[in-house]
Chains A and B, each alone.
Chain A
Amino acid sequence: MIYLDNAATSFPKSNAVNDALLYGIKVLGGNPGRSAHKLAIEAAKAVYDARVQAAKLFNAKPENVVFTYNTTYAINIALKSSYIYGTNVLISDIEHNSVLRPVASVTGNTFASYSTFDSFPDIAEKERPHAIISSIRSHMRPLTRTLICTARSNITGLQMPIGDIGRYCRENGLFFIVDAAQAAGYDDIDIERDYIDALCVPGHKGLYGPQGTAMVIYSQNAINSARVGSFIEGGNGVQSLDISMPGYMPEMLEGGTLGVPGIHALSTAIKELNGYGITNIKNHDSSLVKKAYMQLCFNDKITIYGYTHDSPMLLFNLKDKDCEAVADLLDKHGICVRAGYHCSPLAHKRYGTPPGGAVRMSVGIYNTEDEIDMFVHAIKVISNS
């Protein structure tokens, strides 16, 4: 089997990550932050170590790492714990439903609403940051207080200039939330350098951790701003007699028992990732996609949407063929890809894909050049059939 659906979830996971998950279930059986017996303390140590690993990767403080279950939860927490009722939210025109739906939900019942700014996928790379900031500026309203933006499109891998957007947000008092679903583990993200207030990170994609793990990572600026309050209320082992959640991080935002085995496996995955080096991963993945692109781009039976040289994914359609049928035929060749709208109707509209969407192949660190050759061969066979 050739797995080219890493943008949905990376596969396989390393033996060390698999072992860590099992160790978490078999050994780290205590509930962190509830008791002080050996098992509970060992579990707490594992969770704290994961916070430290994640904090190092994104230049944050360990206590500002909040564990959650997936990026959608992370974005919901980041938005809904900081949203000021009645204010306007800005998002880009290539956002995933994990951004669009919560934004529509929080702004829908008020007189405020959300606006979309242009991501300018078609203009020269050098000109994009300036054009994007101009578009943001033109969509600002008197009550705009939050901006949410993906760091990379989940359908084409288009990178957004989050450092430039972050600086604009900081200068204009906007709370800046970044959806790093496709960028974490692939791009160098520094929460302080890039002026990010809340970074939403999946564990199961570019970090190569297990499914069911994710984080919201806050900057100290965000915590100091007093914009962040609790979102999920419940027990967390401290201040039990108080009816409110604790006012400090991360317990303010972590209600209920954490998924210790997954968090421990994620911690192991991040340590491994540091060993590989993010730049090496990016070079590996983008060179494989480039190889596929170079072999397919001259084929007039194939339409490729929005290819960029540093992307870990390729979006395409075959002439006169339904994208789901193409994915199904690729599956028969033993190749796993994803077709459809990829939960990103905004982005598909922006790129002008036909009704039904398109096919996305996305690579990971375990893919090889031979696998890309087999993928290209299968595409040629299907397009000629």
Chain B
Amino acid sequence: MRFTAYTHIKVDIFMMCRFGIGSITQAQMALDIILLNGINARIIKLDAKKSANGCSYGIEAQAKDKSKIYNTLKKAKIKFSVI
């Protein structure tokens, strides 16, 4: 049996921003609009402990895009919260 040893792991640390959206469908809709506006982002599952209602999804992107995403979601009338 062969084992692969990872001798070095490169970790890129960015300052990130997060938006709480709700369901996976709403997060997909939000992501579609954000990507269409040329902003790179991804869907994440939010920490259920921090939500009164339990599990939900959100969007994560680089912190420098926070205000652009904020305005994009507002314009698209998608409900969200800034985390």
Contacts and interface: CB of A to CB of B under 8 A. Distances in A.
B45 A250 contact: no
Contacts of A44: 24, 28, 43
Interface string A30-70: 00110110000100110010010000000000110000000
Interface in A182-241: 236-241
B44 A238 contact: no
A85 interface: no
Given A239-B55, A242-B53, A32 B26 contact: no
Interface string B13-42: 000000000111110110010000000000
A251 interface: yes
B83 interface: no
Interface residues of A, number: 23
A249 B23 CA distance: 9
B30 to A, nearest CB: 11
B54 A239 contact: yes
B24 A32 contact: yes
B25 A242 contact: no
Contacts of B52: 241
A248 B28 contact: no
Contact of B24 (A33, A240, A241): A33
Given A48-B28, A62-B29, A63-B29, 14 more contacts: A32-B24, A33-B24, A33-B25, A36-B45, A44-B43, A48-B24, A48-B32, A237-B24, A238-B54, A241-B48, A242-B54, A246-B22, A248-B22, A251-B25
Interface of A: 32-33, 35-36, 41, 44-45, 48, 51, 62-63, 236-242, 246, 248-251
Interface of B: 22-26, 28-29, 32, 43-45, 48, 51-57
5 contacts: A33-B57, A36-B57, A62-B29, A237-B23, A240-B55
